[in-house]
Structure 1
Amino acid sequence: MLKYTRLIIGVPFCFTLMVIWFAWSAFRASPQIAAENLRGAGLSISAAIEQLVVADASLRSLARYTTPDIAYFALIDRQGIVRFHTNPLLIDHPYTGAIQNRLPDGISEQREQLGTGEEVYILRTMIHAGSDKYLLILALHTYRADQVIRRAQTGITVVSALTVALWGGTILLFYMIRREERHQREMRRQDELARLGEMGAVMAHEIRNPLAGIKGFAQMIETVASIEQACTYADKIVSQSIRMEALVNDLLAFARVDHTEKQNADLTQIIIDCVELLRPEAADHNVTIVVDAPQHITANVTEDRIVQMLLNLIKNGIQSMPDGGEVTVAMRQNRDTAVVSVRDNGTGISQERLPHIFDPFWTSKAKGTGLGLALCRKVAEEHGGTITVSSRENVGTKFVVTLPAVK
């Protein structure tokens, strides 16, 4: 969950930073871009006006010159008389402003507000027409150039709205994931409680039966007349006690959380040792155990847990053949995986029972605890492996365990 949480938060955060940086950079640069656009337009128009003045000393042709950007323009001679103005009523009148024969860098520029309330860009520059020199005052509309600023402001607004929507969606998604996680956790808790109740009922049943036998045989010992009969009842008490002990041991092995440090071990030697331990029991059942492990394979395992798993699997094979047969324990290495198989030619498992054989306390045996195969699956998963089963009735059963092998 922590990994997905970091991803859910990290991606929108990086995206937000990138978009905000882009929008803010565009917004910061927009006034300069607008000013440069106005300056470029003003210089181009002033150059065109200067060419018209040079071509027509009477300045009449200026009356026909216009562009959408021009608010007005005027030419003032050295005596301060307006020689041309886009407003004809101002021509030949004295110019009320100050005339500078020298302008810094040849031009001056500023923004001014007209009487109509419109803000315009004012460019002042000197133009030359032969021996005459005029002060050009050019006023340009700013709304076209200021579109850059307005677009940047709109971009900031849109980015802000998208950012709010993105983070709103992120928070909603995070909340839904957390709610789903709590729901799943509660479902797991309910399943665990249900399983604990089922396990408790099975355990009570399994323990109650031998306890009843122990109690009954103990009461019968009190009434026996001979020592031989008392010994018979005592043997039965011991047998029931051993059955209870086996149940408790299986339960402890299943419930155990393995914290033992894993070590490199020879799986082939572990298989051989397990087979040798079970050969006497196999001989009693007229069962032959065959080992097919041509190469030594090393794995990083907890050895006693692997031994528990293999003993359970081989014992299952022996017990599935009441009339005798053969159990084959084979091992191969598939790249970085050790594959151990235990195959018998016993009675097999029905297809109805096959999906349940790894469930705790589920068993088809009259005296089984139902924890053996559940323990096998737990041991395999503890080592990062798997266990699978295939079976056919009256043909046999094959368990396959995969474990990570050491290169």
Structure 2
Amino acid sequence: MHSPSEKAERLVKRLKRRPILLIGFLAITAVMVNIVLFVYIQYIAEVRSTKHFLEAQQKIISSDVIKYLDDDNSFGIFTLITRLTSAVPHLDNIAVYNSKGLYMADGRVERDTITPDSSNIVFRMPIVDAAGEHLGTMEFFVSRTSIVAGIVKNISALALLNLLIIVAGLLTGVYLSQRMTKPIADFSKLQEENKQKHETRMENLTFGLAQELAEPIEEINRLTDTLERQGVRNQEIMSIRSETFKLAERIGEFVEYSMPVKVAISEMTLSELADFIRAKSARYIRKNLITAVHCPEDVSVSIDKTKFGKIIAILQTNSLDAGAKNAVITLSVVKKGIEAVYEDDGTGFGDADMDKLFLPYYTTKSDGSGLGLAVCAVLAEAMGAEISASNGDTAGVKFRIVIPSEVKELT
């Protein structure tokens, strides 16, 4: 027979051990659940993030793809999608088909229609011009293996974190076992504090998920495609097309504004740069914007022509929105390198707007995103360039871009 004091002592020891065992068990269970949830959530999030990024990239390059499709230029398409394939994580290949479903090109030179297998996730995105005309399809092949490999790489960090959680849980168990004699009121207070923390975490999680769950543009476009194939083509359909196209453009602008800019400098003559801009400007002729490019002198320069061309394209789009019919680009050599002056005959800006034009989300248009000129500023900064704006002498607006460059006389 045990005395009451011995029974009480044994009870105290059991009470001290049980919280440790309970919390240790819960910690190990939490580790297993966390790993399973981590892998699942990371996989879903990575697939969704990759899809959203590809949608944005597809909208960014769609104008060039449309031009190449119009010209039946398979090599141009191949060059474009090869760069994108190598730049986007987990992207295994891209295939482009014309409006008749005929194979045009892919990033791996398969030279024929690509049949997806279980190792790839395939995202099919229509190629649609501003008028809503279906011009073709792009298929993005995302590697499941690459996604899983990236997740597995991160699991080691998660395992270490959960090990710390177990240690923290055991230490917490020891602490709680020593506090068993505290009043029940303290325990209730602790429960209430934990409940509030849990509710706060759930609110943050819900808010984060709400931000992620935007309506998929691809699904909207697919539905409108289906309706049009069924003979439904009215003002509402065209409005949906227009709005989804604008939304895709906004997402593309946001991605472009947010992504780090990699500058690729190459040597070329100033006249070659002028020819490059003329070729890029040809597509705006159909939109009634004539762009003249002047190059009074010819020298060898160093420049990222793609980034410079993107800046000019944004300025041309703004000119169209401002009702301009003509634009003039003058390329010249200055002390710092190259100066490009862009002028149009549009409506221009108010004096109060000049200091804010390059701020993100500042716009003078009712349906503008406020990111176009902000992207110009980001691209210019990446090239070490300076960009400024002023109203034209008689009408329109004048942009001045000074790009640092090594200038060499032609021999």
TM range (shorter): 0.3 to 0.5
TM-score scaled by structure 2?
0.41
The answer to which structure, 1 or 2, has the higher relative contact order (CA under 8 A, 6+ apart) is 2
